[in-house]
Chain A
Amino acid sequence: MRYAAPTTVDEALELLRSDPDSRVFAGATDLIPQIRAGRPEPALLIDLKRIERLVAVSHNNGTWTVGAATPTAALTADTEFSATFPGLSEASGLIGSDQIQNRSSWGGNLCNASPAADSVPALIVNDATAVIAGNSGERTASVADVVTGPGQTSLSDGEFIIEFLVNDPPANSSDAYLRLIPRTEMDIAVVGAAVQLTMDGDTVASARVALGAVAPTFVRVPDAEAALVGSSLNNGTLDDGTLDAVAAAASAACNPIDDKRGTIQYRRQVAGVLAKRAAQTAAQRAQGAS
């Protein structure tokens, strides 16, 4: 295996073209364990962290631009970012230990394409866009369209994600992400649930709900979103009918597997519970947001 650390996007693309058995990486927190577990080592590994755009974070004209290899620790430590997107910040901060946080990135979390990736449901409900480099120039794709199955993405050979674009939410908006793991830290989601919503006074004006770890891909839950829109927050709580409808829709949207972390039935149930709790928290935060 050869190691290369290009300093420009073009140089990285050229390296990818130079060897069909090449692969880009950021933190390597999934890559190295996969190689150690027996996956073949690529002939050429391309480290993206020396490319300035891949590790830069900026906020201009209402849009956050986050380099795809930016360590998630840099995002959770960014107080302005975390105040704007509390749920996305929480989700990003749940990826592994402090050691992992200094290496893990949105680009890696997304392109590893585990359905249990914590940052991805939160990116989806914030309508994040990926900027993708390829041989015919740059293109953009909705983060929701990147993962097509476990370990599978819609990126073509020779492409990689440069950065993510996330727009500031409208006024009176916020988000939340909850996941269930059997211990307090350092585990993979049994279920993850993200909600982003905008309030108009006490009424939910718009909502997005996404689930992780309950299907081969991330799942948007339009029926839960429809149940939320028009409902009202009284004394900090959404009414029971709305919450029950959100939970039922989330459970129904699941297509989970049985594994050591949870059964199909358990995952369905937990997806409903987490979706309604995340909706409640997002609504409370949105009402408090100016």
Chain B
Amino acid sequence: MPRTHVNCTVNGDEVDFLSADDTSLLNALRDELGLIGAKEGCGTGDCGACTILVDGRVNCACLMFAPEAEGTSITTVEGIAQGDHLHPLQQTFLEGAALQCGVCTPGFLVSAKALLDENSNPTETEIRFALAGNLCRCTGYDKIIRAVQEAAVQVNGASK
């Protein structure tokens, strides 16, 4: 199996790793770089549990071959807190109990962060459409939506 040497930036750090060409970026992040936040749910791009940012845009890491990451800048859920200081979304998810089993949560956090980065005052409809690629089988979504709305208020408050 041919292996490719991949150089990219992950959560602000320059990294390089060797990967088999047919390895998904998700498996490379988890197995080569030890970043196990992104999860494999469906493995076919339907559930969003593996959502990461590639050059600032949401992608399913399961739908990328690891060599495709060459030269890109990647953010995983591990990269959205500032040191020990949680991102407002992480805080509001915790406080609002916007999770039960937690498998989908890293994907939701990354998708919600991408939304708030682009639109810090989204409507409920905009939030629901932005998170349509993330499935949660526990919560019924309402607490997740409310947590994103609350985080948006905090983000806006912080920027004022």
Chain A interface residues toward B at CB < 8 A: 1-3, 5, 27-29, 32-33, 36-37, 41, 45, 47, 49, 73, 96-100, 102-103, 184-186
Chain B, interface size category, equals 20 to 34
- Write 30 A-B pairs (CB below 8 A) sorted by A numbering: A3-B2, A3-B22, A3-B67, A5-B67, A28-B64, A29-B63, A33-B43, A33-B44, A33-B45, A33-B63, A36-B43, A45-B21, A45-B65, A47-B65, A49-B68, A96-B45, A97-B45, A97-B48, A98-B111, A98-B114, A98-B130, A98-B133, A99-B60, A99-B63, A99-B111, A99-B133, A102-B57, A103-B64, A185-B129, A185-B132
How far is B64's CA from A96's CA once the two chains are assembled, in angstroms? 16
Residues of A within 8 A of B2 (CB): 2-3
Q: A5-B70, A73-B57, A185-B132 are in contact. Are A99 and B45 (CB under 8 A)?
A: yes
Q: A32-B45, A99-B48, A186-B132 are in contact. Are A1 and B22 (CB under 8 A)?
A: yes
Contact yes or no, A3 B44, CB < 8 A: no
Residues of A within 8 A of B21 (CB): 1-3, 45
Contact yes or no, B22 A41, CB < 8 A: yes
How far is B130's CA from A184's CA once the two chains are assembled, in angstroms? 12
Contact yes or no, B4 A3, CB < 8 A: yes
Residues of B within 8 A of A97 (CB): 45, 48, 132-134
How far is B2's CA from A41's CA once the two chains are assembled, in angstroms? 14
Closest chain B residue to A28, Cβ basis: B63
Q: Which of B48, B63, B67 is the one whose CB lies under 8 Å from A32? A: B63
Residues of A within 8 A of B105 (CB): none
Contact yes or no, B46 A32, CB < 8 A: no
Which secondary structure dominates chain A's binding surface? loop
Interface residues of B in 40-73 (CB under 8 A from A): 43-46, 48, 51, 54, 57-60, 62-65, 67-68, 70
Interface 1/0 per residue, B87-125 and A, CB below 8 Å: 000000000000000000000000100100000000000
How far is B28's CA from A215's CA once the two chains are assembled, in angstroms? 41
Extra 16 A-B pairs, beta carbons < 8 Å, given A47-B67, A99-B48, A102-B57: A1-B1, A5-B68, A5-B70, A36-B44, A37-B44, A45-B22, A45-B65, A47-B68, A49-B68, A73-B57, A97-B134, A98-B130, A99-B51, A99-B133, A102-B54, A103-B63
Residues of B within 8 A of A186 (CB): 46, 132-133
Which secondary structure dominates chain B's binding surface? mixed
Q: Tell whether B24 is near chain A: CB-to-CB under 8 Å.
A: yes
How far is B7's CA from A67's CA once the two chains are assembled, in angstroms? 26
Chain B nearest CB, measured from A255 CB (Å): 29
Chain A nearest CB, measured from B114 CB (Å): 7
Contact yes or no, B51 A32, CB < 8 A: no
Chain B nearest CB, measured from A52 CB (Å): 14
Residues of A within 8 A of B130 (CB): 98
How far is B44's CA from A37's CA once the two chains are assembled, in angstroms? 9
Q: A3-B22, A186-B132 are in contact. Are A100 and B60 (CB under 8 A)?
A: yes
How far is B102's CA from A132's CA once the two chains are assembled, in angstroms? 46
Contact yes or no, B22 A100, CB < 8 A: no
How far is B21's CA from A3's CA once the two chains are assembled, in angstroms? 6
How far is B57's CA from A2's CA once the two chains are assembled, in angstroms? 26
> What are the 3 A-B residue pairs with the smallest beta carbon separation, nearest first?
A97-B133, A185-B132, A3-B21
